[in-house]
Amino acid sequence: MRVTGRAGLGRSVYDAVVVGAGYIGCAVAFHLASAGLRTALLDRGGVAAGASRANYGNIQVQDAELGHSLALVKAGFARFASLEERLDASVGLRSLGGLLLIETEAQWRLMADRLPTLHAAGVEAELVTAGQLKEIEPLLDTSTLLGACYHRHEGQVNPFRLVWAYVQRGLEAGLELGLGVEVHGIDVAGGRVQGVRTSQGTLAASLVILCTGAWTPALGRDLGRDWQIRHVHGQAVVTEAVAGRLHNHIASAAFFETMHGDGETSQDEAVLALSQTAEGHFLLGEAGAPTRRLGSDARAGGQAAIAGLAARYFPALRQARVLRGWAAPVAFTGDGLPYLGPVDGIDGLALATAFKSTVIVTPLVGEMVAAWALGGQAEPTWGAFAPEREVAHGG
């Protein structure tokens, strides 16, 4: 999509300022501008400068948090059926299945334990044996696998087409885009948000929405808040186009056993997360672990671990050349729930960040925040995701 329209900030007073131009910020800004609010979307970098430039675009049901998030995930998934029409743009949407590969009895039990809750919520998922897997995904070497958890109905978008479609349609609705604008702090007076202090001066706004991913805690500290958002330094690589086709995006059930550490664990260990673009390139990941360091350096050790793991499961990749690698900080929380909703005690300030799977909820979160901004009720309700909740760890 060729982006047309005026980028840049034309005023110093807005109805709403959205901070962070990743998936979530772009969707939120589009919905606010479309609702008629004078909206600015700010990012210290460019569009998709954070985790949103690092991902595969998979619309994943498979890793949903089961305690409180299923309504969100289901409603989010449903939005994709009409998304291209809503945005009047092709975002590379296609149907795809999802497989979580199972290597151990413990992982089999972990996956089996999820099924009753998924089924009760009307989500189709099943356990398949290694023999069935061979039929479902012929390129996969199943020799070390017990089977997989199979989500037949998932999908994929092109990440960049989606975020830019939101930006383009937002600009057409009057959105103003401030790139290279860093927010240093949020002004609050009398329990109400007044605006933001930025690298380019102060902007007044009665609504501020933080969609700032792994960088959110720093803005919270400025307000005396201790938002428990952590991040993983997620690394991946992309190969040249490969002739064989994948029918699913593929991750490991081991993801459910990892990433709960706290501190500086190895960034050079990989857990399988693999997908293919519509053009045939394989996206291979993922190395990384929770860290306190905020960076985007791709490490040789991590990249080698990823390539080795992918080649183990997909012999067809052994001859494929890696074109490039990257890394980005991906926000998560100890209880697996996002920080989504208004901030207690500061009228006009809301958070929308740290989703377990971001792509699937992107269109819905845009709508939910717009409903709140217009004084209505967000649907589904977001009480469990309140920024001021006590975050339990290990979920």
Ligand X SMILES: Cc1cc2nc3c(=O)[nH]c(=O)nc-3n(C[C@H](O)[C@H](O)[C@H](O)COP(=O)(O)OP(=O)(O)OC[C@H]3O[C@@H](n4cnc5c(N)ncnc54)[C@H](O)[C@@H]3O)c2cc1C
Among 33, 49, 272, 370, binds ligand X (CB under 6 A): 49
- By beta-carbon proximity to ligand X, the closer residue of 146 and 232 is 232
Among 16, 17, 18, 22, binds ligand X (CB under 6 A): 22
Nearest residue to 66 (alpha-carbon basis) of 368, 384, 332, 362: 384
State how far the alpha carbon of 105 is from the alpha carbons of 5, 125, 271, in Å: 55, 18, 17
Q: 3-state DSSP call for residue 210?
A: strand
Token pair of 370, please? 């717009």
Token pair of 331, please? 């926000």
Nearest residue to 93 (alpha-carbon basis) of 158, 169, 24, 2: 158
- By beta-carbon proximity to ligand X, the closer residue of 137 and 154 is 154
Asked if residue 226 lies in contact with residue 274, where contact means CB atoms within 8 angstroms, the answer is: no
Kindly state the smallest distance separating residue 60's Cβ from ligand X, in Å.
5
- By beta-carbon proximity to ligand X, the closer residue of 28 and 145 is 28
Residue 20 lies near ligand X (rule: CB under 6 A): yes
- By beta-carbon proximity to ligand X, the closer residue of 146 and 341 is 341
- Return the range that interacts with ligand X (CB under 6 A); candidates 111-119, 349-357, 370-378, 383-391: 349-357
Residue 248 lies near ligand X (rule: CB under 6 A): no
**Strand-pair partners of 95:** 155
- By beta-carbon proximity to ligand X, the closer residue of 93 and 146 is 93
Residue 353 lies near ligand X (rule: CB under 6 A): yes
Residue 50 lies near ligand X (rule: CB under 6 A): yes
Residue 215 lies near ligand X (rule: CB under 6 A): yes
Nearest residue to 230 (alpha-carbon basis) of 255, 267, 259, 257: 259
State how far the alpha carbon of 253 is from the alpha carbons of 102, 130, 174, 257, 353, in Å: 6, 14, 44, 7, 24
Residue 77 lies near ligand X (rule: CB under 6 A): no
What binding mask, one character per residue, do residues 293-332 give for ligand X by CB under 6 A, x or -? Answer: -----------------------------------x-x--
Asked if residue 209 lies in contact with residue 35, where contact means CB atoms within 8 angstroms, the answer is: no
Token pair of 346, please? 């500061």
Kindly state the smallest distance separating residue 223's Cβ from ligand X, in Å.
13
Are β-strands 192-198 and 201-210 bridged in parallel, bridged antiparallel, or unpaired?
A: antiparallel
Helix spans in the chain (H): 23-34, 70-79, 83-87, 105-120, 130-136, 159-172, 216-222, 300-313, 362-373
Residue 182 lies near ligand X (rule: CB under 6 A): yes
Residue 79 lies near ligand X (rule: CB under 6 A): no
- Return the range that interacts with ligand X (CB under 6 A); candidates 123-131, 164-172, 257-265, 357-365: 357-365
Number of chain positions touching ligand X (CB under 6 A): 39
- Return the range that interacts with ligand X (CB under 6 A); candidates 53-61, 186-194, 295-303, 372-380: 53-61
**Cα–Cα distance for residue pair 295/330, rounded to 1 Å:** 10
Residue 348 lies near ligand X (rule: CB under 6 A): no
- By beta-carbon proximity to ligand X, the closer residue of 130 and 269 is 269
Token pair of 116, please? 């009753």
Asked if residue 102 lies in contact with residue 129, where contact means CB atoms within 8 angstroms, the answer is: no
Kindly state the smallest distance separating residue 64's Cβ from ligand X, in Å.
11
Among 34, 58, 69, 333, binds ligand X (CB under 6 A): 58
Q: Which residue is nearest to ligand X (CB)?
A: 22
Kindly state the smallest distance separating residue 154's Cβ from ligand X, in Å.
10
**Cα–Cα distance for residue pair 31/241, rounded to 1 Å:** 36
Element (H, E) at 237: strand 229-241
**Strand-pair partners of 154:** 96
What binding mask, one character per residue, do residues 256-285 give for ligand X by CB under 6 A, x or -? Answer: -----------------------------x
Binding interface with ligand X (CB under 6 A):
19-25, 42-45, 49-52, 54-58, 60, 182-183, 211-213, 215, 219, 234, 236, 285-286, 328, 330, 353, 355, 357-359
